[in-house]
Amino acid sequence: MNKIKILFYSHFFKPETGAASVRADYFVKALRNAGHEVLIVSPKPNYPIGEIFDGFKKKLIVKNVKENTIYLPILFVSSHSAIGRLFSYLSYFKFSLIYLLFKNYKPDIVISSSPPIFTSLAALIYSKIKRSKFILDIRDIWPDIGVELGILTNKFSILGLSKIEEFLLKNSDKIIVTAEGDKKNVMDKIENSEKCEIIYNGADTEIFKPISAIEKEDIRKKYNIPTDKQVIIYFGSYNHGMNDIEVLGDFLIHKKFMSKNIHFLSIGSGDNLENLIKKIEGKISYTSIFSLPMEEVAELVGASDVSIIPRKDINRDTGGNIPVKCFESWASGIPVLLSNIEDAEISNIFKKCGAGVLVEPNNVEALINGFDDLLSKDLVELGLLGRGFVVENFDRRRESEKLIDIIELIY
């Protein structure tokens, strides 16, 4: 196979550390390891802190020659309102499309990941102009998930986004999704049943891995985390999405939880973090860390005892909605306390793995009882069970390499 020129038209990329950036980075590494040429175009890094990172502010355009990455301007990154985010997405839509159209670059294949759906729209338009193949990577089904969560309520906005989605699905040469639920959703909207493929996120089992008791104690001391308490960790987004931060807060200040010798460790940021901290301040022992490189997150996950993942109660499963932190927790050798609707893919995966306790969503008492149930089990044994399950079924590096076959199939 000859070297293929690939443009990865992204909205999130390293040094950002969110799930979207990580997925993109593993795709890029897999493609380069296969001998292909990859150019990444992305906004100046700003997620999750809501401001342009240091080192990217002074220049209009920042180029990383070693990584073959171009960082372009984006506006309104600090806005928390829906209209502010829209203007931010549209600013990158405009800047990126104009920049690339004036750049003498003709890729064989353009890849873009959604959401935001506007970046993928720009990527598709560019691929049409350059007559390149287009691959759409869908991490969340928009606008469906936004409607289900109550984030999108304006019928004109929903209609407009649905039209963009329809255009993207129709004109993509291949569509990648992260779960069976997403594939079913997409398949109901397209005619070509062979167009859609699944590439799960999974966990990097070389980074997220169990650690010894001595290492665990050293890591806790490094971050001033108590060594004489059991540590329950939540790591991920605090933004408005599938994670039920309100229920998490109610769980943490429940009298049964507060009576235990437990320390809560939070890694992440977002719109709802401040309210959570206000709720638990002075009531429980906790540590809150805003953002860390993935390797340090993995250390702290491995140094914890239980991972908690509270998911929202939704009326219908609009897609896969598989939290990556479930795989990363298991890979690190710690069991998971998950609240989720029964009829969802992550619930089915959870039952197959068995490394934790699954309870119904939006129910603090169920979460407390599930936690008690989990603490009555052998946490180390459950953790090793989860580790083996992820290594065998959801290794991120192996999953990312599936993109190579998809690209070579359509080229």
Is the pTM value of this prediction over 0.85? yes
The larger pLDDT score, comparing residue 379 to residue 259, is at 379
Q: Which residue has the tokens 């992260």?
A: 178
- pLDDT for 217: 97
Longest dimension (CA), the chain: 64
Tens-digit pLDDT profile for residues 71-99: 999 998 887 777 888 899 999 999 999 99
Mean pLDDT of 288-312: 95
pLDDT number for residue 330: 98
Output the DSSP codes for 28-80: HHHHHHTT-EEEEEEEPP-TTTTSPPTTSSSSSSEEETTTTEEEE----TT--
Distance CA 291, CA 398 (A): 26
Question: Is the pLDDT assigned to residue 320 strictly greater than 60?
Answer: no
Q: What is the 3-state secondary structure (H, E, C) of 281-350?
A: CCCCEEEEECCCCHHHHHHHHHCCCEEEEEECCCCCCCCCCCCHHHHHHHHCCCCEEEECCCCCHHHHHH
Q: DSSP class of residue 139? A: S
CATH code of the domain occupying 5-202+396-410: 3.40.50.2000
pLDDT in tens, 326-352: 999 999 999 999 999 887 888 899 999
Structure confidence at residue 38 (pLDDT): 97
SS3 270: coil
Average pLDDT of the chain is: 93
Q: In the Cβ-directed half-sphere of 320, how many Cα atoms lie within 13 Å?
A: 20
pLDDT category, 242, cuts 50, 70, 90? Answer: confident
The secondary structure element, H or E, covering residue 82 is helix 82-102
What is the rounded (10 degree) CA torsion for 137, 12, 74, 123?
A: -20
The angle that helices 213-222 and 294-302 make with each other, rounded to 10 degrees, is 120
Give the angle 330-340-261 at the CA atoms, nearest 5°. 60
| Confidence check: pLDDT of 321 > 80 | no
CATH of 213-393, one of 3.40.50.2000, 3.40.1670.10, 1.10.150.240, 3.40.50.720: 3.40.50.2000
For a pLDDT cut of 70, what percent of the chain falls above it? 98
Whether residue 216 is predicted with pLDDT greater than 70 in this model: the reply is yes
Tokens 């000859």 correspond to: 2
Mean per-residue pLDDT, 128-140:
96
More confident residue, 249 or 80: 249
Say what the pLDDT of residue 76 is. Answer: 83
Report the pLDDT averaged over residues 359-364: 94
Q: Report whether pLDDT(110) > 80.
A: yes
User: Who's near 110: CB < 8 A, 6+ residues apart?
Assistant: 6, 7, 9, 123, 124, 126, 127, 130, 132, 133, 134, 135
| Average pLDDT over every residue of 12-19 | 91
Peptide bond into 310 cis (omega under 30): no
What's the pLDDT at 268? 92
State the span(s) of the chain assigned CATH 3.40.50.2000. Answer: 5-202+396-410, 213-393
Token representation of residue 94: 């405009």
> What is the distance between the alpha carbons of residues 15 and 204, in angstroms, rounded to a whole number?
17
